[in-house]
């Protein structure tokens, strides 16, 4: 299902609030309750939200991420700002590893003007973006293709990644818990991401504000393993203190970079 701008805003509102009444959604979107009800019905039919009497919520799951196409559209403006902020800090002529995620794909697009990059990734979409970039070399890890988002995962992927040592790992994440634990949904993807983090001199994490306090089943690591965290606004409590304690440089992407 291709989402229209109103449906994207509806899902974003649910993502921010967890659950909303139809009346609150109508007020936020400045449409009638009947319009919201129709949107909710369509989105429920494709399992992008859960209806309840008088309202709707996103599926509350620690075991399965939101659909790839939906993730690509949610928080798109913030992801673009984060991507531009990271690209601004990446020098030419350096080596990178880039993992799976819609935000890391936005970073790849923002790097299109760089030269002399050597990029290792398990993200086929990153290859589509940077594989034809003059002066850059892209290495795609081998392994099993995950159909829903073209991620390359599995033990062969981990072994491939472990052959290299790069300047910077650019990481996306599904959730950060309020104790600083980094979490994701797919055990195979987590094993690859752990290998990427271990293979870089510095680890930079891209994290839109919806990822704070978001649950996911598999532990990837913790904030102490991150050198820099790029996000779109000041993180909610208790994350500023956690980031400071873990000696993580938190970078807020400027509004004017969208």
Cα–Cα distance, 166 to 217 (Å, whole number): 28
In this predicted structure, what is the pLDDT of residue 66?
53
**Gyration radius (Cα) of the chain, Å:** 19
Partners of residue 144 on adjacent β-strands: 153
Cα 167 from Cα 152, distance rounded (Å): 21
Whole-model pTM: value is: 0.75
**Looking at residue 154, what is its pLDDT?**
94
The pLDDT value recorded for residue 63 is 45
For 257, what's the count of Cα atoms within 13 Å in the CB-facing half-sphere? Answer: 20
Q: Which helix (H) or strand (E) holds 50?
A: strand 50-52
What sections of the chain are H helices per DSSP?
5-17, 22-29, 33-45, 68-73, 76-89, 102-110, 124-130, 155-161, 187-198, 239-245
CB neighbour class for 15 (10 Å; exposed up to 12, middle 13-18, buried from 19)? buried
pLDDT at position 258 is 43
Of 138, 124, 243, 131, the closest CA to residue 182 belongs to 243
pLDDT in tens, the chain (258 residues): 678 999 988 988 887 776 788 998 999 999 999 999 999 999 988 878 888 778 888 765 544 455 555 555 566 788 999 999 999 999 999 999 999 988 999 999 999 999 999 999 999 999 999 998 888 999 999 999 988 888 999 999 999 999 999 999 999 999 999 999 999 988 999 999 999 999 999 999 999 988 888 878 899 999 999 999 999 999 989 999 999 999 999 999 998 644
> Which neighbouring-strand residues pair with 140?
121
157 backbone dihedrals φ, ψ, rounded to 5°: -65, -45
Helix, strand, or coil (residue 57): strand
């Amino acid at each position: 299902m291709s989402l229209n701008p109103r449906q994207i805003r509806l899902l974003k509102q649910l993502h921010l609030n967890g659950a909303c009444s139809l009346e609150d959604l109508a007020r936020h979107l400045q449409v009638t309750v009947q319009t919201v009800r129709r949107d909710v019905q369509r989105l429920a039919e494709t399992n992008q939200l859960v209806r309840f009497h008088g309202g709707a919520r996103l599926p509350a799951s620690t075991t399965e991420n939101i659909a790839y196409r939906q993730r690509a559209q949610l928080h798109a403006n913030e992801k673009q700002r984060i991507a531009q902020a990271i690209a601004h800090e990446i020098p030419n002529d350096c080596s990178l590893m880039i993992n799976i995620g819609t935000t890391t794909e936005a970073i790849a697009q923002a790097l299109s003007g760089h030269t002399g990059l050597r990029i290792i990734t398990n993200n086929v979409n990153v290859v589509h973006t940077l594989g034809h970039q003059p002066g850059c070399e892209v290495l795609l890890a081998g392994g099993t293709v995950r159909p829903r988002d073209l991620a390359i995962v599995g033990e062969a992927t981990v072994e491939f990644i472990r052959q290299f040592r790069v300047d910077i790992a650019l990481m996306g994440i599904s959730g950060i818990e309020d104790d600083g634990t980094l979490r994701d949904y797919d055990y195979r993807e987590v094993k690859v991401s752990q290998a990427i983090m271990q293979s870089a001199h510095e680890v930079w994490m891209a994290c839109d504000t919806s990822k704070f306090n978001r649950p996911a089943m598999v532990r990837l690591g913790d904030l102490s393993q991150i050198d820099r965290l790029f996000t779109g606004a000041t993180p909610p409590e208790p994350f500023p203190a956690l980031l400071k304690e873990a000696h993580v440089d938190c970078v807020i992407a400027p509004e004017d970079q969208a």
